[in-house]
Structure 1
């Protein structure tokens, strides 16, 4: 059940983030709010499964995602009218990247999902972070940096699809009970 909830939250967060980037005004604000709400629930929902594989890192993941949401919501709050929207939005991206690293190190260590998904995320976070920093420094526009975000966005959708369809692995699970070594289905 946890796998399906987390997978669904990743899909909601990504879909609403894409819509928010393509819209403006009230619609953008609502989509950012929906995205932030989904993000806010990902880490605490996953925390019980992750903490067994590194409680400190799992807690760090919750903190990073919480800070991501705080900065994300600050970017669309009334303070954004004071021309700090971009600064807050990019600070959110930095915390997102910190969360990606913490989560995927935990996923790699635990093998809750195939390790290639974690390795992909850890590689894809590098161009994502570079894009966020380059936009923050004014070297690139958000549109120009967009291509740097694609590998990690695709990775998150693959992770979400995996969680929705295959669930999380449980090391040492009984093969007869699960049907396949170490897999817990996402029922």
Structure 2
């Protein structure tokens, strides 16, 4: 019963994290090339909502490792610890994605005050900081996300806690996702490029399939990540 509850909770958190991530992109959109205090203030509610979605996504991701760790630990404690660490680093790297837009909104409101000095300079500095995160924050967090996918799905594949097709799909789909992060990091690809979507969709869909499986079927009975030959030697002849 406990494993079933854990599986359902993890599945729900996967759905929440993905839904919040998609909504954050919808509300925050792409950064404008021309910045004005009036435009920022007019879109303050939308920007704040987008930042809130980033925080919800980060919170959902942060809750997954402690929930699934006991299950993964039964199969491989080092890989389970690696999963916890990689997802924790990912969450830390996601937080500036919420802080940056909120900082721009706060500075723009302060800059609208008649007594504010160097308003445009401070607003531009905050906006530059937020845009800089778009250049490095997404790709670096993507690298740690890909690492967590590899660790999680390698354990799932070896132990058959979910159908091997699902975990094998994730292990294959992580390659284009990682390539996307590296291409964005080196400025070869932008987040608005159609290729960006093409590269990340296979793994995004896989995560939703995994979440649905955990919600409806839970974890399959699994065997530890022990070598099969060791098990055979332990059997009486």
Shift of 1:158: 0.2
What is the rounded CA distance, in whole Å, between the counterparts of 2:201 and 2:138 in structure 1?
18
1:148 and 2:210 matched: no
What is the rounded CA distance, in whole Å, between the counterparts of 1:156 and 1:133 in structure 2?
21
SS in 2 for 1:23: helix
1:20-169 equivalences under 5 Å are: 20-24=24-28, 25-78=47-100, 81=126, 82=129, 83-86=131-134, 87-144=136-193, 145-169=196-220
1:170 and 2:221 matched: yes
Greater relative contact order (Cα < 8 A, sep 6+): 2
Shift of 1:75: 2.9
What is the rounded CA distance, in whole Å, between the counterparts of 1:123 and 1:171 in structure 2?
22
TM-score w.r.t. structure 2 length? 0.70
Larger-Rg structure: 2
**Which position in structure 1 is the counterpart of 2:6?**
2
CA contact (8 A) 2:143 2:181 kept: yes
TM-score w.r.t. structure 1 length? 0.88
CA contact (8 A) 2:54 2:97 kept: no
Q: How many pairs does the alignment contain? A: 172
Q: Which ranges of structure 2 fall in alignment gaps of 5 or more residues?
A: 29-46, 105-125, 224-237
